[in-house]
């Protein structure tokens, strides 16, 4: 199973490891799920996880991102002719389309209105489909 993971799911999974986002992070780290990324997504993960409002140790973040980078499938995504409310969300759609993933998993589906190129699902919905 190949997915694109919105940073909000990664953060939620690290902050609360027993909920659906935490289960997804566990699946990714165990190699049961393949993340599809590009350099923009990895940079966004690094920026978000490095925010001072989160209690993450910089060394732990670096180790996690190194694992993700090594295990992920890297794609080269082309720009899509569409706009989202937040242009910073476009790389996630572009990578999902380029990587032909099964889903873009996010806790904020409203950030991806009218995206029909890829299925946008919540962590809970994605886990239900998986099992």
Q: What pLDDT is recorded for position 96? A: 98
**In the chain, which ranges are E strands?**
2-5, 34-37, 73-74, 103-105, 120-121
pLDDT digits over 43-90, tens only? 999 999 999 999 999 999 999 999 999 999 999 999 998 889 999 999
pLDDT digits over 77-100, tens only? 999 988 899 999 999 999 999 999
Q: Which two tokens stand for residue 25?
A: 């992070």
Q: How many domains would you assign to the chain?
A: 1
CATH code for the domain in which residue 84 is found: 3.40.50.1010
List the domain range (segments joined by +) for residue 58.
2-130
Residue whose pair of structure tokens reads 């060394």 in the numeric block = 59
**Torsion angle (degrees, nearest 10) of CA 123, 34, 52, 84:** -60
pTM of the model: 0.96
Query: Is 129 within 8 Å of 24 (Cβ atoms)?
Result: no
């Amino acid at each position: 199973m190949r997915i694109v993971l919105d940073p909000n799911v990664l953060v939620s999974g690290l902050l609360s490891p027993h909920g659906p986002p935490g289960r997804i992070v566990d699946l990714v780290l165990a190699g049961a799920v393949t993340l599809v990324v590009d350099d923009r997504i990895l940079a966004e993960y690094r920026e978000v996880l490095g925010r001072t409002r989160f209690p993450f140790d910089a060394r732990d973040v670096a180790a996690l991102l190194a694992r993700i980078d090594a295990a992920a499938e890297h794609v080269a995504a082309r720009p899509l002719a569409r706009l989202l409310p937040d242009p910073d969300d476009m790389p996630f759609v572009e990578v999902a389309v380029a990587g032909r993933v099964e889903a873009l998993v996010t806790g904020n589906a409203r950030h991806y209105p009218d995206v029909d190129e890829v299925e946008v699902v919540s962590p809970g919905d994605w886990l239900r489909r998986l099992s």
